[in-house]
Amino acid sequence: MRKFTAILLCVALMLLSGCTATTTENNDKVIAVSFYPIYIFTLNLVEGIDGIDVECMAEQSGGCLHDYTITAKDAKLINDCHVFIINGAGMESFVEDLYTTVDGLSLIDSSEGIELICSHQHQEEGHNHSHNHTENSHVWMSVENAMQQVENICKGLIAAFPEYKTEITNNKTAYLQRLERLRAEIQLTKKQTQGQSIVSFHDAYAYFSKDLGLNISATVENDDGGEPSAKKLAELSDEISENNIKALFIEPHYEGNAADILANETGAKIYVLNPVITGEKALSAYEDTMRENIKTILKAVK
């Protein structure tokens, strides 16, 4: 479990004790969001509204929060903002000790009401052998879940800024219409992908795969573990060959060598799926990336 270092805790506590919630220099109301997908959802909801500034804690190029280390700058941002929007589902548990101590901070958990997938994680012998189940926090990778997150964020923003209710509601309606078109494309794609088996190198794809009716035969690497052992690789190779699995999916910045080993041994091809954790500051970024993922899936299972 991630913990603050003693030094960083001291810095954070100093910030919290010495500051009260403020606005930016031009008196904008500040919304802090935890990381990229929540940033894009929020930008769409406040588009065109003067007087609201959205800041991303992990920044749009920072990636997933599993390996993120909070900084003094982050602590100050959370302390100074009016609203802090999180993905929820356990994604931001490492910063909970900080945001729960800020007086008057409105917290929006965008995962409320979403049914979570339970991920099975284990460590092999020689690596503190243990088994546990944990809730998969990558809920935004399902378009349907993303739509619920937008609804939750909208509700929270209206509660925090009732003076902008009309603008936020209109933006929500327009954004959900776009996401509904994306969801319809997912449903059409599912007709071609239903029942296909794949191997994933990141547990970020569980919700996306479920929407497409894909069976994830194995998740080779997870956020709490490294590369699989030689024994595990041999087992995976046998499983891939026996089940005629044709596709191995990695994330854009995957740095391991297990995928290449399995591809060479089984003939399965490697494809890159984008978990939408980094990208441009563009309102259509989530939709654009998910459509690219759909194209990749169709190419892989054809």
What is the mean pLDDT of the segment spanning 28-43? 96
Taking alpha carbons only, the member of 99, 82, 104, 102 closest to residue 163 is 82
As beta bridge partners, residue 56 has 33
CB neighbourhood size of 156 (10 A) = 23
Phi/psi of residue 22, each to 5°?
-130, 175
Could you tell me whether strands 130-135 and 106-109 are parallel, antiparallel, or unpaired per DSSP bridges? unpaired
Q: What is the pLDDT of residues 123-178, one digit of tens each?
A: 433 434 334 458 999 999 999 999 999 999 999 999 999 999 999 999 999 999 99
What is the mean pLDDT of the segment spanning 186-192? 97
pLDDT for the residue 296: 98
Per-chain mean pLDDT for the chain: 86
pLDDT for the residue 26: 57
CA angle 115, 117, 121 (to 5 degrees): 155
pTM: 0.87
Instruction: Identify the weakest region by mean pLDDT among 88-102, 118-132, 236-250.
Output: 118-132
- Residues 6 or more apart whose Cβ sits within 8 Å of residue 69: 2
Contact yes or no for 32/86 (Cβ under 8 A): no
- Residues 6 or more apart whose Cβ sits within 8 Å of residue 25: none
pLDDT for the residue 23: 41
Tell me how far apart the alpha carbons of residues 165 and 230 are, in angstroms, rounded to a whole number: 57
What is the mean pLDDT of the segment spanning 174-188? 98
Instruction: Identify the weakest region by mean pLDDT among 19-28, 106-115, 293-302.
Output: 19-28
DSSP helix/strand/coil, 249: strand
What is the mean pLDDT of the segment spanning 54-82? 86
More confident position, 63 or 114: 114
Tell me how far apart the alpha carbons of residues 8 and 75 are, in angstroms, rounded to a whole number: 9
Instruction: Give percent of the chain with pLDDT exceeding 70.
Output: 83
Phi/psi of residue 33, each to 5°?
-120, 155
Which amino acid type is present at position 23? T
Tell me how far apart the alpha carbons of residues 32 and 133 are, in angstroms, rounded to a whole number: 30
More confident position, 144 or 8: 144
What is the mean pLDDT of the segment spanning 201-207? 93
Highest-pLDDT range among 55-64, 226-235, 244-253: 244-253
Asked if pLDDT for residue 260 goes beyond 60, the answer is yes
Asked if pLDDT for residue 61 goes beyond 80, the answer is no
Burial 223-262 (b: 16+ CB within 10 A, else e): beeeebeeeebeebbebbeeeebbbbbbbeeeeeebbebb
pLDDT for the residue 62: 65
Torsion sign across C-alpha atoms 123, 270, 290, 188: negative
Asked if pLDDT for residue 122 goes beyond 50, the answer is no
Tell me how far apart the alpha carbons of residues 75 and 36 are, in angstroms, rounded to a whole number: 18
Instruction: Identify the weakest region by mean pLDDT among 31-35, 63-67, 231-235.
Output: 63-67
Taking alpha carbons only, the member of 82, 57, 84, 85 closest to residue 150 is 85
Asked if pLDDT for residue 31 goes beyond 80, the answer is yes
Write down the H helix ranges in the chain: 6-18, 36-45, 72-80, 96-99, 143-160, 165-193, 206-211, 230-242, 258-266, 285-301
